[in-house]
Structure 1
């Protein structure tokens, strides 16, 4: 079978996606992949206001796959605003390269819409892979939302395929936009599992714990992400107020505008917390691998790939009910617990359940790892290939 030409359009190189593109390029016998970027901001480094610092990723985001940067006529400081990415070269690339499928990662910028409209204009099949969960569609009102719904309904109707990342994302297409199930292809949101597994082989966990001054008898709780309001890091501290500080050590991986407030609260309430700041991709597995319980209390998280990372490293998971991944990979009484978003007492209860039952905790940790064995890049590749083989989910 001759390889099918697939073009993926994405805002900028992203640490979670670049290893996926390399994997597909090296392993697929069906797909000939080219990735187009609207911006190179993540390559040259950028000021991330949520992290409160300049970010330069320490892994090669361009290794192992074909890519091309498109000229952006807007001088962007962030790739996340609707008008920050305006790349007219999209039209010529789609017109002249005879792609069998054009895959748009999202629909949130001008250039994402260029991909859709140029595909329609030149009669090239296109698809969408987004993150939106159905739970956030409830209660959307107003003129802006009506226009959004009309636009997305048009795009989804014209699309040849929609690649969904999990249960909530599938419901978003089916329930909120009445998409035919034959258009839906499962491509699970995944991280580079192999990297975390290989990292463990080189790590002395006991030495790393000792380096941070964490006694053997303490369970390690971990939060990884930006210290911003929607991530709700303060909720973890509030939940720990009445838990014996000798029984745990909480690690905060990340920085952000709430950092000083969190440190002050921890000090006043005599909590056992270590703030480690921003940790880059190369080193982040080290901290997951000697931790026991990963906590993500966000009030808005379309998926939360940090959960995948923690599960690859054998962490039990405590997740808010408003985290997209909690509907797929966090299984109550199996590898963790889901608590009602914003409910500090519920979060405290879940922490104590895992903190004081060693056998259950160890089982949950192993179960997390086992779940991740079928939530990987191979499954994403198979979902993409399934479209090319028979055009049906």
Structure 2
């Protein structure tokens, strides 16, 4: 079995999946873009940087020539890679996996795969909670039931993702679970009691104090101010909450100012690269992600749980029904409801039951489980006769 994968650019969450795929089958990953440190900053991280872990070793890969006039991964025409057609034709592949469809490169690859009679699989985290204007929602409702059938198989990453494809009438027998995940062992082995103590000591956080973490870009859709207001409300009721922030972005000064105004003790660590994150999670008592529906998943929640920490996520976060449905592993609250968020902060799950439930959960949302789903989808596609694959697209 030889699989081609097309993705936008090297992503820290995808690299472990690609490495595991390469251990199980012949694989080549194609990147449509190679972002510069400056582009990383412009994407909302707030600072220019390169990742401090290797995102491209352990699996065959190549960067395609990006012909876009304004290269980037944040807009449809930012990735224009006509060379994908030749790469697929010459590579002797059995199938193509794409990691979305919102870039020109993805549509180029679909067209090329169709000409070569290659099955096309897609893995992404679209869900129905993302705010949409009425006209856009109507257009999608009219077009997507046919357009999504361009894919021979769909890999859904969680319950909201599954609901999305069911909503548009995608054939259920072509749906396969490939959960959003992180390298749980990598995080768990680094989130040690020693790492916890060292960072809490450096921040002057007493062992008995409750520290709630936020990790991510400081942008409006993350609704970080809701966490500050909720911590202030807890404080007014005698429950002291300290807030730890790993991240940067355009909301930085607004957040710092508001925390000072309402008397919330804030530990602003700024942008933290990947190798620094396990200690950050170890030092906290739980992670809060109050985002709007634009948070299609929230993989920082997986990271925190891999480090043994419960989560508090808004009901519009894509991961909510998967990672926080069990009260032993997390809490959910109505997006924008500061009082409900404060209640969840004060009622954070702890103890042995939480530890055991988290261990079970991270095994289900693991790299191995994600690759199992990809393998199952591939096998299903390749079992079809070529004539069946030719008629499985949008015209059926």
TM-score by length of 2: 0.90
CA distance in structure 1 between the aligned counterparts of 2:86 and 2:38, rounded to whole angstroms: 26
Q: Retained in 2: the 8 A contact 1:302–1:324? A: yes
TM-superposition CA deviations, 1:111-155 (whole Å, max 9, x none): 111111111122111111111013338x6521x555555554344
Aligned pairs for 1:34-183 within 5 A: 34-41=28-35, 46-136=40-130, 140-142=133-135, 144-149=136-141, 152-175=144-167, 177-183=168-174
Q: Do the aligned partners of 2:178 and 2:371 also contact (CA within 8 Å) in 1? A: yes
Displacement of 1:158: 2.5
Q: 2:392 maps to what in 1?
A: none
Match of 1:215 in 2: 206
Match of 2:12 in 1: 15
Matched residue, 2:364 = 374
Deviation at 1:209, TM superposition (A): 1.2
Instruction: Give structure 1 stretches of 5+ with no counterpart.
Output: none
CA separation in 1, counterparts of 2:304 and 2:191?
Answer: 12
1:302-337: CA deviations, max 9, x gaps? 111000000011111111000011011112422121
* Aligned pair partner of 1:267 in 239, 260, 264: 260
Aligned equivalents of 2:87, 2:48: Cα separation in 1? 32
Scaled by the length of structure 1, what TM-score is found? 0.90
Change (3 A) 1:89 1:153: farther
Checking the alignment, whether the CA contact within 8 Å between 2:333 and 2:344 is kept in structure 1 is yes
Alpha-carbon contact 1:217-1:247 (below 8 Å) kept: no
- What is the CA–CA distance in structure 2 between the aligned matches of 1:6 and 1:151, rounded to whole Å? 29
CA contact (8 A) 1:37 1:69 kept: yes
Q: Structure 2, unaligned stretches of length 5 or more?
A: 384-396
1:44 CA drift (Å): 8.7
Alignment deviations for residues 231-261 of structure 1 (CA, whole Å, 9 cap, x no partner) = 0000011111133388332101101111101
The correspondence for 2:269, drawn from 270, 276, 281, is 276
- Alpha carbons 2:155, 2:377 under 8 Å: kept: no
Q: Is the 8 A contact 2:191 2:281 kept in 1?
A: no
Alignment of 1:251 with 2:244, yes or no, is yes
- Residue aligned with 2:267, SS: strand
Q: Tell me the C-alpha RMSD between the 2 structures.
A: 2.2
In 2 relative to 1, CA 257–43 (structure 1 residues): closer, same or farther, beyond 3 Å? closer
Cα distance in structure 1, aligned partners of 2:38 and 2:261: 40
Pick from 326, 333, 336: which aligns with 2:327? 333
Q: Please state if 1:353 is matched with 2:347.
A: yes
**Correspondence for 2:232:** 241
Give, in whole Å, the separation in 2 of the partners of 1:76 and 1:59. 27
Alignment CA distance shift 1:366-1:262 (3 Å) = farther
Instruction: Work out the CA distance in 1 between the residues paired with 2:171 and 2:20.
Output: 30
| 1:290 and 2:280 are equivalent in the alignment | no
For 1:243, what is the secondary structure of its paired residue?
A: helix
* 3-state secondary structure, aligned to 2:78: coil
- Aligned-pair distance for 1:48? 2.5
The equivalent residue for 1:186 is: 177
Structure 1 stretches of 4+ with a deviation exceeding 6 A read none
CA separation of 1:93/1:202 partners in 2, compared to 1, >3 Å: closer, same or farther? farther
